[in-house]
Structure 1
């Protein structure tokens, strides 16, 4: 058994250490991937802090998505089919993740990459693009007996995901109200073509948001922030709003007035991509990733801020944490 370099987390909240560990062997239904690149996502940061829905035994290699080449296949039709192919991949919930020279994962969690897509973009095909498409799927499936046109409010909108939601809203003719926290972000998004952007740091933020939310009937909210912003979002939204919380960028407690549930007909949900995908079969996921590949040159493209070798992963994480709206930070292997 050979050795490989990996970024290893020994305890929640501790710095990563570059270590030499054994190259894993794929079992039935699994593949071994020689990793090319992997992004740093908010979900990775939450996992390293011990606050994510997936828990693994320490020491562990983080990294939820990436790209690479399948170099060894376990038993089964699909592993043999992917063998030798360049793939976009997601980490198994049972094993080490993507931040290593090699990774074993289920063949079901790999998708072959079109020749039109470079391996950097391929490394970011799962988390954000699938989440963006899932949001519009959720919107479509929510009850709408009056057949009213309705829109979306999305927070942390200067992120890579937020930008995808803006572009998909335009494609599907669904109004998107983007909430950011700095004036510079307002200007960036408007320069990129966003029509409705509000700044949560403005003194009149709540009145601005309420006016535009009622005008556009944006009664479906996707919130990545949490904290005190949640109540403000509910106060601004039309009656019967659906609020989906999918992140916790604000570590403060989220408090909601009972009246928002009792008298306003509002609904509060949690959204977790892993749970959403559990209800989808492999063929649905394959169809979705093909759709992503067709849109990756435009609506679902991701801006890359910087790329680092694995040996500088700690520096990469700090740069990403302090500049999330500047684009993704990639790790190359």
Structure 2
């Protein structure tokens, strides 16, 4: 079988390579899954660069998420049948075949959109969990930067379902209309400059309403803009560092306005929330995906053997959709 492997950290398109390995077998209590579609996320790029929260032992196979079909069942496995469509939770998904324990597989409806299912594990779940971090009621405002990202688009859709209003910050005008059509209540173009300028624009867009929660995917000066924009005792949550810079917040907002800054990692959230929370979260996401209520654009698809081209494409700063790998 083919799989993606890397034995050193560095520029993703250079360190990842497609290699041939013997086909694995299910074995007792295990499931053999033939992967069909896999997504490329920022976390995957950071893993290849050695800058993610966990550094795998090398050589390693990356890949946060994907979707495949059950190819064979080991002795003693129940609840699944050959041909079932599943999402592995275990990671290392960029491969043709994957062996997993049945409890680490999410079973999907047979007629679900396979490409969208390949992007179900990380971004939609992150968006839903982020909205749980503050006490919000219908009609409340939430803001985010990198609103045109996969998490950003999912967050707009999730907020709308919960009756929340969103201020969505982007760096260029091209995605503005698409985000409005998706349900974004306000879409602001701001290139990460003066924090007070952004705060004034947010106040005008919301009619001076209190913004209780701000979601930060960028870090650096962008965090300062969110901290200046939320209401007193508001919460800023950072889940990414697209800028490559540490979060910056004026101490004035932390000390005199009681603004809180905290980090978010989906893996940590699941550990704290417990197994049932994960089951409930994904059950709801599957229902909404099956109903066509969530989804993000796909810009390009690459076979595994073109992993270098796929990763170079995924690293481009101004994409209009996700990059997928196919077997």
- Give the structure-2-normalised TM-score: 0.89
Which of 101, 105, 110 does residue 110 from structure 1 map onto? Answer: 105
Cα distance in 1, alignment partners of residues 27 and 209 from structure 2: 52
How much is the aligned-residue C-alpha RMSD, in angstroms?
2.4
Question: Quick check: 2:65–2:118 contact (8 Å CA) kept in 1?
Answer: yes
Which of 53, 78, 81 does residue 79 from structure 2 map onto? Answer: 81
Q: How many residues align?
A: 319
Aligned-residue offset at 1:275: 0.7
Cα distance in 1, alignment partners of residues 230 and 277 from structure 2: 32
Unaligned 5+ segments in structure 2 are none
Aligned-residue offset at 1:168: 2.1
Question: Quick check: 1:69–1:87 contact (8 Å CA) kept in 2?
Answer: yes
Question: In the alignment, what sits opposite 2:64?
Answer: 64
Question: Quick check: 1:309–1:332 contact (8 Å CA) kept in 2?
Answer: yes
Question: In the alignment, what sits opposite 1:327?
Answer: 321
Question: In the alignment, what sits opposite 1:44?
Answer: 44
Question: In the alignment, what sits opposite 1:254?
Answer: 247
Question: Quick check: 1:159–1:324 contact (8 Å CA) kept in 2?
Answer: no
**In structure 2, do the counterparts of structure 1 residues 186 and 137 end up closer, same or farther at CA, with 3 Å as the change threshold?**
same
Unaligned 5+ segments in structure 1 are none
Aligned-residue offset at 1:80: 2.9
Partner SS, residue 140 of structure 2: coil
Aligned-residue offset at 1:83: 4.4
Aligned-residue offset at 1:193: 3.9
Aligned-residue offset at 1:29: 5.5
1:316 equivalent in alignment to 2:310 = yes
Aligned-residue offset at 1:240: 0.5
Question: In the alignment, what sits opposite 2:9?
Answer: 12
Cα distance in 2, alignment partners of residues 278 and 74 from structure 1: 28
Aligned-residue offset at 1:175: 0.8
Residues 198-277 of structure 1: matches in 2 within 5 Å? 198-201=188-191, 204-212=197-205, 215-277=208-270
Could you give the per-residue CA deviations for residues 69-123 of structure 1, whole angstroms, max 9, x where no partner exists? 12344566xx43234222022234xxxx111111233433311111230322221
Choose 250-259 or 204-213, whichever is displaced more: 204-213
- Give the structure-1-normalised TM-score: 0.87
1:195 equivalent in alignment to 2:192 = no
Cα distance in 2, alignment partners of residues 256 and 195 from structure 1: 26
Partner SS, residue 82 of structure 1: coil
**In structure 2, do the counterparts of structure 1 residues 180 and 160 end up closer, same or farther at CA, with 3 Å as the change threshold?**
same
**In structure 2, do the counterparts of structure 1 residues 275 and 186 end up closer, same or farther at CA, with 3 Å as the change threshold?**
same
Question: In the alignment, what sits opposite 1:183?
Answer: 173
Partner SS, residue 6 of structure 1: strand
